[in-house]
């Protein structure tokens, strides 16, 4: 697939994925969603990539939402199909076996906030503005916002943000736990890559199993969740990297993980 709205780059063990429609503040149209889906395939099958940084092109926006020009004339059927497409792609991203860090370099609105919430970790810059302004356009959030926001920031805060459509700054997003960290705009990408590289230096299978266990466990009761944790914990002992990690510790030497 030829990518026109996304840039996929590799730097050692990490991939940098950039949503690249800066003239439309990186708004997500159907084509861009399909390209994100394709990039997920590429990242998934590339064994060298162990972590991903997702960001937006230009100075102003991570993603300013789903594409309003495309949605404006949609019928009920088309609206539903568009919502399903966004939800399917973001769910795949959420379930990707490699951790994804969103570097929110500006407006992170509507579908942009929803994209960020499908990532594992969000880092904002002091310029970042976050919100779910859909009700001001006569629609509900459609790419997971009504579901993931409450799971991340709690019911009351999610309802306030979604019912009012208000846009909050980076410090407020940090205060409510929507982003992990706020950094200066000029260091955002460096910080996100540094974090991705720290993660990529750990045992990849263990990191991947942690992601699956946390994601799965959050959606089920504690007993089922803990039994899933025991399952993945046990699975680690079938990996070479568990032997390597523990042997290196005992021998007081650097570990050399092989992703096996
Ligand atoms: N869709 C399509 N185009 C968009 C867009 C969007 N979500 N957001 C910005 N753009 C376009 C603008 O139309 C403009 O294009 P032109 O230059 O061709 O006119 C360009 O990007 C620059 O935007 P502005 O001139 O508006 O820039 P600004 O600095 O004055 O304002 C902004 C920035 C406050 C982010 C404003 O662009 C804005 O409010 N954007 C829409 C935000 C929004 O409502 N997002 C939610 C969309 S609905 C959704 O996402 C549904 C869902 O859950 C699936």
CATH number at residue 240: 1.10.12.10
**pLDDT for the residue 258:** 96
| Index of the ligand 1 atom closest to the CA of residue 129 | 35
- Strands (DSSP E) found in 12-70: 14-19, 51-56, 61-63
Domain enclosing residue 247, as ranges: 204-251
Determine whether the shortest distance from the Cβ of 112 to ligand 1 is under 6 A. no
How does DSSP assign 177-223, residue by residue? Answer: TSSSEEE-GGGHHHHHHHHHHHHHTS-HHHHHHHHHHHHHHHTS-HH
CB 110 within 8 A of CB 133: yes
Judge if 121 and 143 occupy the same domain: yes
Burial class of residue 138 (count of CB atoms within 10 Å of its CB; 0-12, 13-18, 19+): exposed
**pLDDT for the residue 51:** 98
CA distance 106 to 63: 8
Number of neighbouring beta carbons within 10 Å of residue 154: 12
CA distance 224 to 62: 36
Determine whether the shortest distance from the Cβ of 65 to ligand 1 is under 6 A. yes
Looking at the structure of the chain, the number of domains it has is: 2
Mutate to test the pocket of ligand 1, among 25, 30, 136 (most ligand atoms within 8 A of CB): 25
CA 156 to chain centre: 23
**Cα torsion angle, 234, 215, 50, 43, sign:** positive
**pLDDT for the residue 122:** 98
Number of neighbouring beta carbons within 10 Å of residue 57: 19
Determine whether the shortest distance from the Cβ of 205 to ligand 1 is under 6 A. no
Catalytic residue among 114, 172, 231, 240: 114
Judge if 178 and 246 occupy the same domain: no
Compute the distance from residue 144 Cα to the ligand 1 centre, in Å: 19
Judge if 30 and 71 occupy the same domain: yes
Question: Which ranges of the chain have pLDDT less than 70?
Answer: none
Q: Whose CA is nearest to atom 12 of ligand 1?
A: 24
pTM of the model: 0.98
Of 200, 217, 237, which residue sits at a domain end? Answer: 200
Judge if 168 and 241 occupy the same domain: no
- 42 an active-site residue? no
- 114 an active-site residue? yes
Judge if 97 and 196 occupy the same domain: yes
Judge if 127 and 247 occupy the same domain: no
Catalytic residue among 48, 59, 70, 134: 134
CA distance 98 to 243: 21
1 part of a folded domain? no
Judge if 157 and 241 occupy the same domain: no
């Amino acid at each position: 697939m030829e990518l026109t709205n996304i840039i996929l780059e590799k730097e050692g063990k990490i991939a940098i994925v950039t949503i690249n429609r800066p003239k439309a503040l990186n708004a997500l149209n159907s084509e861009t969603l399909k390209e994100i889906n394709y990039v997920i395939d590429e990242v998934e099958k590339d064994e060298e990539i162990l972590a991903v940084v997702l960001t937006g092109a230009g100075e102003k926006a991570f993603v300013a939402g789903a594409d309003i020009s495309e949605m404006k004339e949609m019928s009920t059927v088309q609206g539903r199909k568009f919502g399903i497409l966004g939800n399917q792609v973001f769910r795949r991203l959420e379930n990707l076996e490699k951790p994804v860090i969103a570097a929110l370099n500006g407006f992170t609105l509507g579908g942009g906030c929803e994209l960020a919430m499908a990532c594992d970790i969000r880092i904002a810059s002091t310029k970042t503005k976050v919100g779910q302004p859909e009700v001001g356009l006569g629609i509900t959030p459609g790419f997971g916002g009504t579901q993931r926001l409450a799971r991340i920031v709690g019911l009351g805060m999610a309802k306030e943000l979604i019912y009012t459509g208000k846009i909050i700054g980076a410090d407020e997003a940090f205060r409510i736990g929507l982003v992990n960290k706020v950094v200066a705009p000029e260091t955002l990408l460096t910080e996100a890559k540094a974090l991705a590289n720290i993660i990529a230096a750990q045992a990849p299978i263990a990191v991947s199993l942690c992601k699956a266990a946390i994601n799965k466990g959050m959606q089920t009761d504690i007993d089922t969740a803990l039994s899933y944790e025991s399952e993945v914990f046990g699975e680690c002992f079938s990996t070479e990297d568990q032997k390597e990690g523990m042997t290196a510790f005992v021998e007081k030497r650097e570990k050399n993980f092989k992703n096996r």
